[in-house]
Amino acid sequence: MRTVVHLLRHGQVHNPDGILYGRLPGFRLSDTGLKQADLVATSLAGADLTVVVASPMQRAQETAAPIASAHDLSIVTDEGLIEAGNVFEGRKVSVGDGALRNLRNWPKLRDPFTPSWGEPYLQIAHRMLGAVHRARDLAEGHEALCVSHQLPIWTLRRLVTGRRLWHDPRHRQCSLASLTTLVFTGTELSQLRYSEPAGASAPTHTGA
């Protein structure tokens, strides 16, 4: 039995202050993000989607909406797809912005391998793997779409490809509105594909 699970990173977010929004409520898609969601919906028009699942965050739900609508499906919300927790939520902190020069940040940045500033990578990977298999069960023999966030998707990808979970965020291959596609034969992963139906974006794009 062949089942396909597409992991979709949400589209661009309206974030005029450039903060790390993480799990903070109220962050919607920008106009560009809405267009990106529509582009993905078009790219998946011919897919055999029978299940659309999304993180509870507003940006993920809005990204899922046009795809679910095009396939006459309701959106299933799964907490396992949520963004990673991060102690820097609400602050202007991003890769390469000099956060290490602020002595007050040092205790939170002491361990890049777990990491010390947020949800452990292993915990992220395991909850994401659980969400993927729940979607696979629901869509058995067909295709499922799971809308999530950059770090959770990339962490899961590293887990299933046998790579260490800690990594340089600047090298993530997970653009806005990109698709990381997992193909299962029965319950076993047999193929992984990546595509960017809405175009490429920098891994260090503010937020997730």
pLDDT tens-place string over residues 167-180: 999 999 999 999 99
In a domain, 148, yes or no: yes
Does 94 score more than 80 pLDDT?
A: no
Provide the sign of the torsion angle of the four alpha carbons 43, 49, 54, 58, taken in this order.
positive
pLDDT band at 204 (very low <50, low <70, confident <90, very high): low
Q: What confidence tens digit (pLDDT) does each residue in 4-35 have?
A: 999 999 999 999 988 899 999 999 999 999 99
Note the pLDDT tens digit of each residue in 66-78: 999 999 999 999 9
What's the pLDDT at 28?
Answer: 97
Domain count, the chain: 1
Of 105-109, 139-143, 199-203, where does the model show the most confidence?
139-143
Residue 205: inside a domain, yes or no? no
Residue 200 lies in a domain: no
Q: Which domain holds residue 15?
A: 2-195
Please report whether residue 202 resides in a domain: no
203 found inside a domain: no
Asked whether residue 85 is domain-assigned, the answer is: yes
State how far the Cα of 40 lies from the Cα of 35, in Å rounded to an integer: 9
Please say if the pLDDT value at position 205 is more than 80: no
> Which position has the higher pLDDT, 201 or 152?
152
- pLDDT at 150 (0 to 100): 97
104-121 pLDDT, tens digit each: 766 777 788 899 989 999
Q: How, if at all, do strands 2-9 and 179-185 pair?
A: antiparallel
Whether 99 has a pLDDT exceeding 80, the answer reads no
Query: Where residue 96 sits, what CATH number does that domain have?
Result: 3.40.50.1240
User: Cα–Cα distance between 179 and 57 in angstroms, integer?
Assistant: 18
Cβ-Cβ contacts under 8 Å for 153 (sequence gap 6 or more): 7, 9, 128, 174, 180
Residue type, 138: L
14 in a structural domain: yes
pTM: 0.92
Please check the confidence at residue 95 and state whether its pLDDT lies above 70: no
206 inside domain: no
Per-residue pLDDT reduced to its tens digit, 120-135 = 999 999 999 999 999 9
Q: What is the pLDDT of residues 40-67, one digit of tens each?
A: 999 999 999 999 999 999 999 999 999 9
